[in-house]
Amino acid sequence: MSKLGIFDLSVRYGKLTAVNNISFTVAEGERVFISGPNGAGKSSLLAAIAGEVRAAHGRIEMDGDILSGRVPEAIARRGLSMVPEGRRIFRALSVQENLMVGVGLRRDKTAVPDDLEAIYAAFPILGTRRHANAGALSGGQQQMLAIGRALMTNPKLMLVDEPSLGLAPRVVDEVYDRLCSLQAQRGLTLVIVEQSSARAGRVGGRMLLLRGGQIVADGDAASFAADDLLKEAYFGKAAP
């Protein structure tokens, strides 16, 4: 059984169709990049999976359970966690309070202190600044906080929307480095929206190419990186 199954999913905002009849599955432990131009529907796809926007049509399954139609807090309880576009840090809360917001859904409360230390070990800067206001962190630190905050819910499946947005390349390297090692440690399944196919190719994994709300390609990220398909996805069929 696949970890995540998307079947004929559509998302609409009024008349505008952001996701148009998409189907794909993600296996347990897999790392899937979703790439595509601005407005392709990447964030809408993630938002529908997490229950933040209602699907106009179709079915979403996790471990064979139907997610579509459930409220976000119920989906989070099933082990799905989201690192959203723009990070959406609670700026008025301290770093540690941000990390603790999502532990309310956990049944293994006794494991929380160890998990918190594990996050601080993976992102030492968060440990150093644990009592600082989250709004005072730099962009890269906020991205790490958003990832740590999602991990504190002890998810099995994590959706990450454009973790590299607005960060210096060196910081992006660091973020992906941590994401990959945390994935290996915890046996996580990762779905990552990443605009840069070169980046996705270097990190490695599967890649889905989205355009106009539809999947136009599905394959290995590394072999995609150089491919013409990408240019086509971004710019349409180029004139010869």
Partner 1 sequence: MTLQLVFDALSLGGIYAIAALGIALIFGVMKLVNFAHGQFIAFAVFALIVPSTDAVAVMGLGAAPALVLVPALLAVGAGLAVASEYLVFRPLRNVSPVALMVASFALGVVIQNALLVIYGGRPKAISLWPELGKPVRLLGAEVPMLQIMVICAVLLVLALLAIMLKRSRVGLEMRAAAEDFGMARLLGVRANAVIAGAFALSGALAATVALVLVAQTGVADVRMGGQIMLIAFIATVVGGMGSLPGAVAAGFAIGAVSVALQAVLPIEARPFRDAFLYGLVILVLLLRPQGLFASASAKPRV
Ligand X SMILES: Nc1ncnc2c1ncn2[C@@H]1O[C@H](COP(=O)(O)OP(=O)(O)OP(=O)(O)O)[C@@H](O)[C@H]1O
Cβ 83 to Mg ion shortest distance, Å = 12
> Token pair 């210096």 is at which residue?
168
List the one residue out of 167, 208, 199 whose CA is nearest residue 180: 199
For ligand X, which stretch binds (CB under 6 A), given 38-46, 88-96, 115-123, 169-177?
38-46
| Rounded CA separation 39/19 (Å) | 10
Options 35-43, 61-69, 90-98, 181-189: segment touching ligand X (CB under 6 A): 35-43
Look at residue 86 and give the partner it binds from ligand X, partner 1, Mg ion, none, a contact being a CB closer than 5 to 8 Å depending on partner kind.
Answer: partner 1
For 110-168, give the DSSP string: GGHHHHHHHHHHHSHHHHHTTTSBGGGS-HHHHHHHHHHHHHTT--SEEEEE-TTTT--
For residue 114, what are its two tokens?
A: 């160890």
Binding mask 63-82 for ligand X (x = CB under 6 A): --------------------
Write out the H or E segment, with its range, that includes residue 231.
helix 228-235
Could you say whether residue 44 binds ligand X (CB under 6 A)? yes
Q: Which is nearer to ligand X, 43 or 68 (CB)?
A: 43
Residues of span 37-76 touching Mg ion by CB under 5 A: 42-43
Work out how close the CB of 186 gets to partner 1 at its nearest, in angstroms, rounded to a whole number: 17
**Residue 90 interacts with, from partner 1, Mg ion, ligand X, none (CB under 5-8 Å by kind):** partner 1
The CA radius of gyration of the chain, in Å to the nearest whole number, is: 18
Could you tell me if 81 and 158 are in contact, meaning their C-beta atoms sit under 8 angstroms apart?
yes
The binding site for partner 1 (CB under 8 A) comprises: 50, 52, 71-73, 76-77, 81-82, 84, 86, 88, 90-93, 97, 100-102, 104-105, 135, 139, 149-150, 153
Query: How far is Cα 47 from Cα 30, in angstroms, rounded to an integer?
Result: 20
State how far the Cα of 181 lies from the Cα of 183, in Å rounded to an integer: 5
Cβ of residue 198: shortest distance to partner 1, in angstroms? Answer: 26
By the rule CB under 6 A, 15 interacts with ligand X: no
Q: Which is nearer to ligand X, 50 or 152 (CB)?
A: 50
In the complex, the residues that contact ligand X under the rule CB under 6 A are: 13, 16, 18, 36, 38-44, 85
